Amino acid sequence: RLMITLITVLVYLLPSFAKSSESTKVITLPKSLNLTLLTDPSTISTASHDYGNVTTVTPGGVLCPSSSAEISRLLRYAANGETIFQVAARGQGHSLNGQASVSGGVVINMTCLADITVSEDKEYADVAGGTLWVDVLRETAEQGVSPVSWTDYLHISVGGTLSNAGIGGQMFRNGPQISNVLELDVITGKGETLACSPQLNPELFYGVLGGLGQFGIITRARIVLNHAPKRAKWFKMLYSDFTAFTKDQESLISMNNDTGVDYVEGQLLMSNGIVDTSFFPPSDQSKVADLVKNHSIIYVLEVAKYYDDPTVPTTGQVIDKLTKTLSYLPGFISMHDVPYFDFLNRVQAEEDKLRSLALWEVPHPWLNLYVPKTQILDFHNGVVKDILLKQNSTSGVALFYPTNRNKWDNRMSAMIPDEDVFYVVGLLQSASSQNVQEVESVNEAIIRFCKDSGIKIKQYLMHFTRKEDWVGHFGSKWGAFSKRKDLFDPKKLLSPGQDIF
Ligand code: FAD
């Protein structure tokens, strides 16, 4: 507790860390456009920063659109007008390196256009691009339905996650969020509004999914819905053996709906990090802490089984199997029985806790990787044991779980490894302005290690500053990606903060 208080005070007192250039250029639009740009210092300051808290990218104005027609007008003007300026859509600005801002250009605050309409047959919802997933959940669940694929955190926007992928513990069965979209309305870099789907304008549809905001602004997404279960039985089990842990995770993601669980993730607890034992009953918490101390690394398997009626036999059978056939350390299992909404919105409690400690708005030098299954042991030995565990301290969460490639469509822009099963590794570190560079150099060492050892990782939520890194990232899809840029945003106006073109 004393340590947390000390860190809190330190972080609070330190000035925020900024490494990007700032611009003071203010954009003036002709009256005939009938668009109001906000340029007050508070709005500009908010739009200049993001969750990563390591960059400052200052726009010349912010548009809070009252309709998608306003976005189209702005983009037509930017594409054809005398004054050239670039444009970035911004959801919640939960990017890490300035991807949702634009130096001297216009940021569009997409949250001004939030809206959800559930179809009559409840098969899908039409959702405005700036809507937060937490609101999609609230609205759909009230009507007994729900999207099927979720990110861990729900206070992020539909357009923002669809521009990346939207990954989480349900995607082994249902695919990422980008695999659960039927149709989109997109405003291209030329200001045209186009509906697109696998049948209509497919080039734009697949390009935009995971397209890092490069081809158009998503103003509407048609999201697949299914039945919303009432509750979730949410388990965490501890392992000291990495092979047993991954074997159980891989077996769980290979099971079908009836015999398996609905959500599979995992985390690492390391003796040089903050060990959160709060999921376990108070009587077990010191045992969990000792376990981590004794083994240096403990692996947490996290699963959930949804249900409506506790008396239906399949729920009990799945749970029986979980407790009997998985090889976690005997006794180290804890279960919470929670409403479906609370389970999906579980990171909210973490946010509240961190905010109360002034630890939410700190630098976040996160590293998110996809690692092929056949190389996960080498990755574990070289990165987790030989790099992370050798640091004096680590902070934040380390996610570690496998998923299935067959739920992704290769026509989408999002990039993943070639193997049928790959792991999501999220090293979600919090830092202070003093040690952020140190964490960033550890991240670089991890990337270097993977490269030198031939581990074929792909990065997620990445930020490359060199063109060759982008070309390497997209590999054989680079040609198609740049062609789509020429087609839909030839003046290269959109989301320049991604630093691709
Ligand atoms: P922004 O950061 O505002 O934008 C992201 C990019 O998309 C920018 O380039 C922006 O210009 C572009 N963009 C935004 N809106 C649109 C639009 N309507 N049309 C076109 N382009 C647009 N991600 C996961 O996949 N899984 C997780 O479990 C997960 N957990 C997270 C937990 C936390 C605590 C945080 C902070 C983030 C997490 N994320 C996760 C990352 C999240 O997906 C990204 O931050 C993502 O960028 C969405 O955030 P946002 O809506 O604020 O988008």
Q: What is the 3-state secondary structure (H, E, C) of 256-302?
A: CCCCCCCEEEEEEEECCCCCCCCCCCHHHHHHHHHHHHHHCEEEEEE
Distance CA 402, CA 255 (A): 13
pLDDT at 19: 42
pLDDT at 23: 54
| Closest CA relative to residue 72, chosen from 105, 30, 99, 108 | 108
- What's the pLDDT tens digit per position in 429-439? 999 989 999 99
* pLDDT at residue 70 greater than cutoff 70: yes
Give the ligand 1 atom nearest the CA of 163.
7
Ramachandran sector of residue 25 (left: φ over 0; alpha: ψ -120 to 50; beta: rest): beta
Distance CA 324, CA 302 (A): 16
CA of 400 to the centre of ligand 1 (A): 20
Place of tokens 């030839």: 490
* Residue 270: burial class (beta carbons within 10 Å; 0-12, 13-18, 19+): buried
Give the ligand 1 atom nearest the CA of 51.
36
Handedness of CA 174, 413, 201, 101 (dihedral sign): positive
CA of 91 to the centre of ligand 1 (A): 7
pLDDT at 74: 97
Note every long-range contact of 385-389, with CB atoms under 8 Å and residues 24 or more positions apart, other chains counting. 385/297, 386/449, 387/442, 387/445, 387/446, 387/449, 388/268, 388/270, 388/272, 388/427, 388/442, 389/270, 389/271, 389/272, 389/296, 389/297
Please tell me if the CB atom of residue 413 comes closer than 6 angstroms to any atom of ligand 1.
no
Domain covering 116-228 in this structure, CATH number:
3.30.465.10
| Closest CA relative to residue 384, chosen from 462, 263, 459, 295 | 295
Is residue 493 within 8 Å of 104, Cβ to Cβ? no
Please tell me if the CB atom of residue 100 comes closer than 6 angstroms to any atom of ligand 1.
yes
- What's the pLDDT tens digit per position in 371-384? 999 999 999 999 99
pLDDT at 15: 39
pLDDT at 16: 40
Using 50, 70 and 90 to split pLDDT, how confident is the model at 22? Answer: low
Using 50, 70 and 90 to split pLDDT, how confident is the model at 83? Answer: confident
Is residue 413 within 8 Å of 444, Cβ to Cβ? no
CA of 316 to the centre of ligand 1 (A): 37
pLDDT at 24: 58
One-letter amino acid for residue 7 of the chain: I
CA of 178 to the centre of ligand 1 (A): 13
Q: Report the mean per-residue pLDDT for the chain.
A: 93
Q: Which one of 70, 136, 157, 368 would you pick to mutate in the ligand 1 pocket, going by the greatest count of ligand atoms within 8 A of its CB?
A: 157
CA of 461 to the centre of ligand 1 (A): 8
Please tell me if the CB atom of residue 498 comes closer than 6 angstroms to any atom of ligand 1.
yes
Give the ligand 1 atom nearest the CA of 350.
34
Please tell me if the CB atom of residue 157 comes closer than 6 angstroms to any atom of ligand 1.
yes
For residue 217, the surrounding DSSP H or E stretch is strand 216-224
Four-point Cα dihedral 134, 135, 140, 145, nearest 10: -10
Please tell me if the CB atom of residue 92 comes closer than 6 angstroms to any atom of ligand 1.
yes
pLDDT at 321: 84
* pLDDT at residue 332 greater than cutoff 60: yes
One-letter amino acid for residue 58 of the chain: T
Tokens linked to 417: 């490894």
pLDDT at 318: 82
Residue 85 is classified by DSSP as -
Give the ligand 1 atom nearest the CA of 347.
34
Ramachandran sector of residue 104 (left: φ over 0; alpha: ψ -120 to 50; beta: rest): left
Q: Which fold has domain 253-299+340-459?
A: Vanillyl-alcohol Oxidase; Chain A, domain 3 (3.40.462)
Please tell me if the CB atom of residue 152 comes closer than 6 angstroms to any atom of ligand 1.
yes
> What are the residue ranges spanned by the domains of the chain?
116-228, 253-299+340-459
In this prediction, what percent of the chain has a pLDDT beyond 90? 88
**pTM (2 decimals)?**
0.95
- What's the pLDDT tens digit per position in 235-276? 999 999 999 999 999 999 999 877 789 999 999 999 999 899
Q: Which one of 133, 156, 425 would you pick to mutate in the ligand 1 pocket, going by the greatest count of ligand atoms within 8 A of its CB?
A: 156
* pLDDT at residue 410 greater than cutoff 90: yes
| Closest CA relative to residue 432, chosen from 352, 364, 366 | 364
Q: Which one of 90, 184, 194, 343 would you pick to mutate in the ligand 1 pocket, going by the greatest count of ligand atoms within 8 A of its CB?
A: 90
* pLDDT at residue 7 greater than cutoff 50: no
Four-point Cα dihedral 314, 318, 320, 326, nearest 10: 170
| Closest CA relative to residue 408, chosen from 205, 178, 202 | 178
For residue 185, the surrounding DSSP H or E stretch is strand 181-188
CA of 94 to the centre of ligand 1 (A): 5
In this prediction, what percent of the chain has a pLDDT beyond 70? 95
Distance CA 404, CA 408 (A): 8
| Residue positions annotated with a catalytic role | 94, 152, 265
Please tell me if the CB atom of residue 165 comes closer than 6 angstroms to any atom of ligand 1.
yes
Averaged pLDDT, 177-202: 98
